[in-house]
Structure 1
Amino acid sequence: MIEFFFNGGFVFMGILTLILLFVVIISVIVAISIFIQKINNTDETLREINYIRSAGIFAVFFGIFGQLIGLFSAFKAIKLDEVDISYSFITEGFRISMITTIYGILIFSFSMLIWFVLKKALEKIEL
């Protein structure tokens, strides 16, 4: 797992991990306020729940951005080198460039699951 983190690029994977931590922290805070039923303002709680979804969407786009930067750098290096490059080298580059996108999609999936559960829980309390 740590190998994927460093292969994906420390900067992009680090920022995506911070987004994941943000999603987890906000989720715990909102879940505590919902399940202990200390909700003073439903609109504010709904806004906090939507932050979870927004962070997940940002994670997908940031992961794709990381992949595009990696591919751009790889193609630039291939062009400058102008030697015969094997297909295995290119496919390994594509595999590594997809790590940030996959991580972003996993964060998005997790955030959407949490968003859905917390939103349904908030709707049950409002009734």
Structure 2
Amino acid sequence: MKLFDLFYMGGPTFMSLVTIWGIGMLVFTVQKLVHFFVQGKVTKSGLGLILLFGSLAMVTGFLGQAIGLIMAFDAIEVAGDISPSLVAGGLKVSMITPVYGTILFILSLIFWGALKEVYTRKSEQEA
């Protein structure tokens, strides 16, 4: 499967929102890295935004899954008799958005933790 296929299978609306949160997380991470490596400044401000955008990505992924499952169960209720393989395929597709959001959240935790450690060590050296 190609990444673009997964993007559209997961639902372009929620996958786009999760991507926007992921881009926001990366922007703030790069901003902190530029402050540290280029300008030599190490500040704690803005670190929480990295975690915030990662959290928003994960929560939006789960919200997309919940809304998709509600719509799918409504369709199953109207149709009546549905094959188990069709339900399994739908459940598989419903997991794409939360997995994507969770991956972005894990990345934000890694970036946030690393940058917080840099801040802590720099603060201890200056003290």
TM-score, normalised with respect to structure 1: 0.90
Among residues 70, 81, 94, which one is paired with 1:97 in the alignment? 94
Alpha-carbon offset, residue 124 of structure 1:
2.0
Q: Tell me the alpha carbon deviations over residues 85-106 of structure 1, each in whole angstroms, 9 at most, x when there is no partner.
A: 1111000000001111101100
Tell me the residue number matched to 1:36. Answer: 38
Are the equivalent residues in 1 in contact too, given 2:18–2:56 (CA < 8 A)? Answer: no
Tell me the residue number matched to 1:69. Answer: 67
Aligned equivalents of 1:36, 1:124: Cα separation in 2: 18
1:1-127 → structure 2 map (5 Å cutoff)? 1-39=3-41, 45-82=43-80, 84-126=81-123, 127=125
Q: Percent identity?
A: 32
Dislocated runs of 4+, deviation >4 Å? none
Aligned-residue Cα RMSD (Å) equals 1.2
2:45 alignment partner, SS class: helix
What is the number of residues matched between the two proteins? 122
2:44 alignment partner, SS class: helix
Structure 2: runs of 5+ lacking an equivalent = none
Are the equivalent residues in 1 in contact too, given 2:25–2:108 (CA < 8 A)? Answer: yes
Aligned equivalents of 1:118, 1:20: Cα separation in 2: 17
Structure 1: runs of 5+ lacking an equivalent = none
Match of 2:61, as an amino acid?
G
After superposition, the Cα gap between the structure-2 partners of 1:5 and 1:100, relative to the gap in structure 1 and judged at 3 Å, is same
TM-score, normalised with respect to structure 2: 0.90
